[in-house]
Structure 1
């Protein structure tokens, strides 16, 4: 076969020029032979190849240098043997075959060390110069000896409907949620290695697929999530995935594209490292090999190294962890690398300082410290974990009262940065609960009041309230310190009534099942003042008859239920008074009550008035049905206690009296209204989420003011910034930088402190236009900025 100069240049000279420059050890390859030649054919071939070298060596460039080296090697080789003899080239062919056999063995060892499951044709083509003598078939033979399968790569980047910036955001939110892949987000129970190339496949679970049903199920689950950092991150993951689907992607391609995005950051770390990273995230080794090989052979526009500006953006977004990862992929000689590296280091130092302070801080300040750390490194697993384990502050103002046999509890939560708080109420006997696992759980609620409908009557118990900012069903949820209150339930008798007949009083009532006995004491013209006052009237558990009564006397019967505690000691419930009178009544126009007043008494209202002479019954209306109360019951209770009423609804009281025929006479009504309560306004000042790092880049003066309004308030909230070290005591002492109506239940407002205020300043809120409003400041350390 004649010497082909073009093939020789392409297959021999150019690989030498672009490689290490070493000439091929295989002499047949060096001289452009595919097999040993002999006779005239050998002579013609040597003349042609040497002529080619001579011609090329006279030019310029890399090929000229290679040909000069070949000519020099040819001269040296001619001194050691007869290149024109057939035997020389047959011996060269034997040495080539021996060399190739050794190279196949060496290559198999190298491939076994470098790759774990498979190798691509492209990777076999891009071997070091040492393996250049091997044919493609011999290279595949070496791969087979190494136990590697030949891999067909996939096209990168994977088109999934999410641009690179959104994919980076998706990865960051998965990290915040504590997840390693999109598959783990939709199928948290999958533990076996799964494949994604060609669609999701889980060994042993052929029905598991990534499609519309799992997306809809995830949307339903998201509706029940709380507002802790991990839950917020999960909602963000769902939003980004939905965007990808809307833009033409599907869940399988999004999941595969996320793996390609994550692994591209490690594309310079070696094949085995990339495969280990992929399998550690749940991907099957076969898919991991394909992705690693595809990244190694990728020549398109992506994956792309992150720019210095993108690192700055990540810092500004409060994603320090992602910024550190991105910075590691930027060459140190890149313009701006030194400055952004210093900003990353400074942010890391600040986070570490905040975490050190939080480790020894008291409960009142640890939340603020951790939230400041979260504003800088909201994607850092350590910070996320500490925020997730952070409990809300202990509740305050816990009170317990009896109502119709139930125990009603109410409490307050101090100002906190937790958007959603759940409360668990635990009932114990003997001692207060110290953990949510103690005693019996009464209820779990998001309201600041609860009721135990059936507390054990007579027994002393403790009610303890715990608070958490996480899902209360999570066994790892962090609960606040306990706050307890003691209570003894002593339900009075109910449905008490009586009537006079032929000089006898017939009384009846209903007693709680836990009642051990009921006593009845009779008084004349006034209720008995105690358990020993008046005359004892014997009866049954739910009724009694009292005879021999005079016709013109008003009688008062105090009915008392008694209970035993855990030590068998008796305790009396509040007495219920029944008034009866045998005086004849004549229908007539009654005098109205006078001096009507309506006042708050905790969660109830006290309605009080002066009774007209001779009137023993009154009817009270407060926006609902009528409530009748006797003069005796009024005197016993010190007034008429009603559930809390709407201040906008007037309370109406009328005297009433029934004559001997059962006809009822009413007085004209008298009305009064409950004075509207003074509102309580509390607030928390914190760094704007995602903006905490601005201060380290010299740009951050943004703050978020979260306001809670307890009760109606018609005033405005003023946010005032005041320079210096003295806290402002009135709005005029600083500059009003924001104003907001307090007509709602609460809100959050972001403010930017003007540069003219200076570096050291106070940020404090005031209420304007609502006299009497109670303003609760947060800890002073959160108001002062220096």
Structure 2
């Protein structure tokens, strides 16, 4: 890359000149070197940089800088000579070292800027330049560092030096008489937090100063006359006598802050005073303190400053010694005020210390010494006396065995002063420390007497110990598990290490124990037994038995398994399945979820605890046919029969969380059955089953054909099932199906004939079918006009016949009706469409095998249980005229 002299002067020489003539510490920046440069590039660039130096030296402002850079170049000349010969290693090492030095220079500058800005985060441009020159960074770089640290570089705001009103002193006294901390409270009221006074006097949400003064004048005018109103009149006179009342408010705030600054507090203290007591906004408070600090002329010194430093450090006794060492000529003004203050504080603290020495109650002495140390933290001898004042001891310590440990309780110390803690000891050795009045020893010695004591302590002073009566800890057998089976109870436990043995009794009778368990076959199913499992420990006078662990168990016969079950969707509750099964003679049926096929074969009886550990519970609600369950995600559903502590494994099904089709309907049209439904979401295929056959239908095929077409004899009853299906791990699994039942249809034909002479003409109805059948009711309907009747109610009933055995020939006198008119027969109970059925329908059990109950005429089918399809004759036979 070509050397850019203008850019070099702008980015290197000019910042270095602003930094007091200090050359850049980074050699890469000084010589415009890059990491990818070759030895030839380095030599050429260094040459051009030095030529730029010579040209810039002709300008007076760069002469000092160039002289320093040329002097430094003598130290780096061997590095560039080696680079010119092809060895860049020394130069690269020097570049890395200079880059690190430049980083340290920036870190040093950042630290110095932080220290100078302090909590106010404000710096004057002159101080920023001084820091930049002393560290050797440019002005722009210093400004960037300040901005990155949220330091505002600005000149201090100009502040008023004299009061804008000659009678300000009297107004200040009147404000003090009114108990107001500053003039802003008088003008704007008590709620003037966040007030701004530098650019303009503004209170958030308040009216301007002139209007606020008028409002304050009206408020005070409405009050009864008295000393308060006299002081208020003095303040109002000062506000009215000032051309701009805002300048008087600003001067009052500045004057009060100046008085506080003379006390030499820290910036944090001044910020709290300005925002809390003077109600200033945080930004204005920072700027105002910065400006007032700038007026003070630097760090305070002299006797007053030293006394203030000792007071702020809490060294009151040292401050009195310092004041006593000063001469009368030094104790003037603020120094004299501080000396009087510290001497008064020391005298009060000494009186409190003397009162503590004479006190009989240690709590009274402790309170007096605490107050003395708050006044004079370095009061001689007070801290040692405080450390020796022990609290009253704890009382009523009780120790009780609790399982494998010991629980401790006690009454608290009556001491009312200081923070009292309690040290718990076991057999004289420290155990724990707590502020509560309870403790626990989780690992006490076993089968030996143990003594506990509680020591109340305040700081380093301890009261006499309070001792509890000795206790002996003898743990009970652990992990006691009793399982009831078919005519047998067996148990297991863990024997405590210190126990000699474990004994078991049933209803007070001993039970034979084998190692860490027993098997008791002398029980009767259905009877509850109480077992006690106790531990025996060696004692000086023989074995000592624990109270024992009590368990009540009831043996029962082995629960019988459920051979199998079916799942059906619950139409009233999405996501719920109805599990149907044959109820076992005993036990309770539950469904559990497994991640894979069960590890037990059907009919295996296992402990209930093992089943619970290997499965997940499935929410269920009992129903008339079985249970309504919500298995959720994909799992293996296992039916188990539970009796007591045993569970017998039954059948299982792999449940895939596939949505069941809804809105299923089926319609016969001759030998073809048209099936339609709402395709379930996220299901790739469905399996359609009918008449012992099945077929897979994809979503695309279903939509392309507008449904599913099945072939089935019209005269046979039919059940159509549609189940969602998917391939899982190479195996096809089906979700719960929806189904619809269709009855067999019996085609019945009729014909209309007109016989006899014109004056005695009759209408003959001939009804035939392919097989004998009985019609429950047949009606002949007449309708005048050109539109044929649509139902038995759509016209005039000429005649009707009941329980008609086919074939049949029926007659009725011809009607005397103006032409044109229609004649048509209707068989009640006939329907062209089937009804949808699902588990849970109230009238589901009323459906006969091979029959159907449609939505309009449920239960009114023909006597033989089939559905009648009544076929009309040609139109010329039905329409007359």
TM-score between both structures, scaled by the size of structure 2: 0.27
Q: Looking at CA atoms only, which structure, 1 or 2, has the larger radius of gyration?
A: 2
TM-score between both structures, scaled by the size of structure 1: 0.30
